């Protein structure tokens, strides 16, 4: 997919096989843009729909136009994502990062859209 990514993105995506070395901006690219396309036919449906729940929630929280109006909806999506994540992967696979997604909507209420205060802009 790398050859289809425009120059507006500072870092081109690496292989999913290198995911353990990805930077925050690479995860952002996957969650907000390429994930729905890349994962559509590559993962089983329950895993894909769980990812799409995360995609929708983070898209809302990253948007200056959507964030404050739909933050409650995003929070519900993130709670659903984590609950479904537990049922799909097991409770022992829930890291602090996965659990903390439940609280990120509150951070957006306080600080505004994710792109204004998250690690995304600083990693490149």
List pLDDT tens digits, range 37-53.
889 999 999 999 999 99
Overall number of domains in the chain:
1
Is residue 8 domain-resident? no
Is residue 58 domain-resident? yes
What's the average model confidence in pLDDT over 98-113? Answer: 94
Is residue 102 domain-resident? yes
Is residue 122 domain-resident? no
Is residue 55 domain-resident? yes
Is residue 64 domain-resident? yes
Per-state percent for the chain, helix, strand, coil, to nearest 5: 75, 0, 25
3-state SS, residue 13? coil
The model scores a pTM over 0.75: yes
Is residue 53 domain-resident? yes
d(CA 20, CA 49): 23
Dihedral sign from CA coordinates of 53, 58, 64, 67: positive
Angle between helices 67-89 and 104-111 (to 10 degrees): 160
* pLDDT of amino acid 119: 57
3-state SS, residue 41? coil
Is residue 4 domain-resident? no
> Residue 52 is part of which domain span?
21-113
């Amino acid at each position: 997919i790398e050859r289809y990514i425009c120059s507006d993105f500072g870092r081109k995506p690496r292989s999913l096989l290198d995911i353990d070395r990805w930077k925050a901006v690479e995860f952002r690219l996957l969650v907000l843009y390429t994930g729905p396309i890349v994962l559509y036919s590559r993962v089983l449906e329950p895993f894909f729909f769980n990812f799409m729940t995360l995609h929708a929630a983070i898209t809302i929280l990253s948007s200056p136009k959507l964030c404050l109006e739909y933050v409650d909806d995003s929070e519900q999506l993130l709670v659903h994502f984590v609950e479904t994540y537990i049922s799909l992967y097991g409770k022992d696979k829930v890291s602090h990062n996965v659990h903390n997604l439940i609280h990120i909507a509150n951070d957006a209420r306080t600080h505004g859209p994710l792109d204004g205060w998250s690690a995304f802009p600083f990693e490149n």
